[in-house]
C-alpha cells in the first residue's frame, strides 16, 4: 500500500524473557502490507538474549525500535511505549502472538469506519488449537462488531494481546495504572482498568472481530490455577479501586461478577466437580486486600503509593 494520506501507526510489543518467541512475533508484524508504521520493542528481560535478536532484525529493517527497561511491570512497559512512540494510532500485541499481514490495515480501517472510536479490542485465537490447545490457550472471542459507550452500554471486556488506541485517548484518560498488570504488585487487569477509565471519560470502545491475532501462549493444565488466581487478583484490585472512588456502577459490576462466578462454583460442586472458578475467586478476594496497600487518587483514578 502507498502511504500517501495513511495515518502513521506505532506498533508495540512489550516482552520479558521470551527469546524463543519474540523473533516470530516481530517478523509477522514487519510482514504487514500496511506501509506507514514502525515497531517499538520494550524489553524487560533479565538477560541479553532478546536484545540480541531484536537488534539483529533491526539491522536489516529500519522500522524496528528497541528500548530496554531495568524495572518490571507490563503497565510500566506500556507507558514507556506510549511516551517513546509518535503515531496517532498505537497498536499493541504480545511477544507470544502472531499477527496476519492485514492486522495494522484492519485496525486503521476500523478507526476510519468509526471516527469517534478511541480504543479497539480484537480477537485473540489459539495459534495451535489442536491437541486441546483451544481449551488451554487464553483467548478472546468476538462474535460481531460492537460499540461499548454511554449510549450502547458497557461491560468489562478486553485482552492486552490485541488492542489499539488513539494517542488522544491517553491524553484524555491517562496512562496505564502501574500497580496493575503482569509483573506489577497487583498482577493483572490493567486492560480492564484502562477500558473502564475510558468509559468514565465518555470514550467509545470498539470490539472488532476482523482484527485478529494468533496466540502462541498455551498453558498446560497445571499452570491454570495460578493463572486464574492472578486474573482474579487483578480483577479484585481493579474493581475495588473504583469502588473506593465511590463509583456505584463499578461496585455493581464487581458484585455482579463475583455472584456470577460464585454461582458457577456452587453449581459445579453440586454436580460433584472441582470448579476452576474457585482459584479465580480466591485471587479476587486477595486482590481486594492487596489493593488496600495502596492509596487511590480520585482525580486520575489511579493507584498511588501510600505515604
pLDDT tens sequence for the chain (307 residues): 445 589 999 999 999 999 999 999 999 999 999 999 999 999 999 999 999 999 999 999 999 999 999 999 999 999 999 999 999 999 999 999 999 999 999 999 999 999 999 999 999 999 999 999 999 999 999 999 999 999 999 999 999 999 999 999 999 999 999 999 999 999 999 999 999 999 999 999 999 999 999 999 999 999 999 999 999 999 999 999 999 999 999 999 999 999 999 999 999 999 999 899 999 999 999 999 999 999 999 999 999 998 6
Q: Is residue 4 part of a domain?
A: no
Domain coverage including residue 65: 9-218
Q: Are 277 and 263 in contact (CB under 8 A)?
A: no
pLDDT of residue 297: 97
For residues 284, 287, 291, 297, the Cα torsion angle rounded to the nearest 10 degrees is -50
Q: Which one-letter DSSP state was computed for residue 222?
A: G
pLDDT of residue 1: 46
Residue 213 shares a structural domain with residue 256: no
Residue 189 shares a structural domain with residue 297: no
Helix 277-291 crosses helix 248-270 at what angle (to 10 degrees)?
150
The residue to which cell 531495568 is assigned: 70
| List of residues 6+ apart from 219 with CB closer than 8 A | 136, 137, 138, 227
Residue 188 shares a structural domain with residue 231: no
Global pTM reads 0.96
Give the count of alpha carbons within 13 A of 151, CB side only.
6
Pairing type for strands 146-148 and 204-215 reads antiparallel
| List of residues 6+ apart from 221 with CB closer than 8 A | 136
* Number of independent structural domains in the chain: 2
**Domain-ending residue, one of 190, 218, 246:** 218
Q: Which one-letter DSSP state was computed for residue 157?
A: -
Q: Is residue 27 part of a domain?
A: yes
The residue to which cell 461491560 is assigned: 155
pLDDT of residue 4: 56
pLDDT of residue 197: 97
Q: What is the CATH number of the domain that holds 207?
A: 3.90.550.10
The residue to which cell 459507550 is assigned: 149
| List of residues 6+ apart from 157 with CB closer than 8 A | 121, 148, 192, 195, 205, 207
For residues 262, 265, 267, 273, the Cα torsion angle rounded to the nearest 10 degrees is 180
Residue 69 shares a structural domain with residue 207: yes
**Neighbouring C-beta atoms of residue 196, cutoff 10 Å:** 25
Radius of gyration of the chain (CA): 19
Amino acid at each position: 500500500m502507498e502511504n500517501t494520506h495513511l495515518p502513521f501507526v506505532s506498533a508495540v510489543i512489550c516482552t520479558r524473557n521470551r527469546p524463543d518467541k519474540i523473533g516470530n512475533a516481530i517478523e509477522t508484524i514487519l510482514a504487514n502490507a500496511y506501509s506507514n508504521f514502525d515497531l517499538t520493542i520494550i524489553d524487560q528481560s533479565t538477560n541479553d538474549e532478546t536484545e540480541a535478536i531484536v537488534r539483529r532484525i533491526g539491522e536489516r529493517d529500519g522500522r524496528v525500535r528497541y528500548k530496554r527497561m531495568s524495572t518490571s511491570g507490563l503497565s510500566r512497559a506500556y507507558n514507556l511505549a506510549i511516551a517513546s512512540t509518535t503515531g496517532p494510532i498505537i497498536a499493541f500485541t504480545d511477544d507470544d502472538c502472531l499477527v496476519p499481514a492485514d492486522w495494522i490495515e484492519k485496525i486503521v480501517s476500523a478507526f476510519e469506519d468509526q471516527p469517534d472510536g478511541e480504543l479497539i479490542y480484537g480477537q485473540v485465537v489459539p495459534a495451535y488449537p489442536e491437541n486441546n490447545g483451544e481449551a488451554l490457550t487464553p483467548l478472546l472471542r468476538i462474535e460481531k462488531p460492537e460499540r461499548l459507550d454511554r449510549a450502547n452500554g458497557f461491560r468489562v471486556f478486553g485482552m492486552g494481546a490485541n488492542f489499539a488506541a488513539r494517542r488522544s485517548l491517553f491524553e484524555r484518560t491517562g496512562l496505564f495504572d502501574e500497580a496493575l498488570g503482569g509483573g506489577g504488585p497487583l498482577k493483572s487487569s490493567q486492560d480492564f482498568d484502562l477500558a473502564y477509565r475510558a468509559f468514565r471519560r465518555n470514550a467509545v470502545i470498539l470490539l472488532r472481530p476482523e482484527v485478529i491475532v494468533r496466540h502462541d501462549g498455551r498453558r498446560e493444565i497445571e499452570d491454570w490455577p495460578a493463572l486464574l488466581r492472578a486474573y482474579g487478583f487483578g480483577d479484585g484490585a481493579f474493581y475495588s479501586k473504583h469502588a473506593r472512588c465511590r463509583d456505584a456502577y463499578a461496585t455493581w459490576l464487581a458484585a455482579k461478577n463475583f455472584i456470577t462466578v460464585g454461582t458457577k462454583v456452587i453449581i459445579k460442586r453440586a454436580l460433584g466437580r472441582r470448579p476452576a472458578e474457585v482459584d479465580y475467586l480466591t485471587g479476587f478476594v486477595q486482590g481486594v486486600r492487596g489493593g488496600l496497600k495502596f492509596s487511590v487518587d480520585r482525580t486520575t483514578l489511579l493507584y498511588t503509593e501510600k505515604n
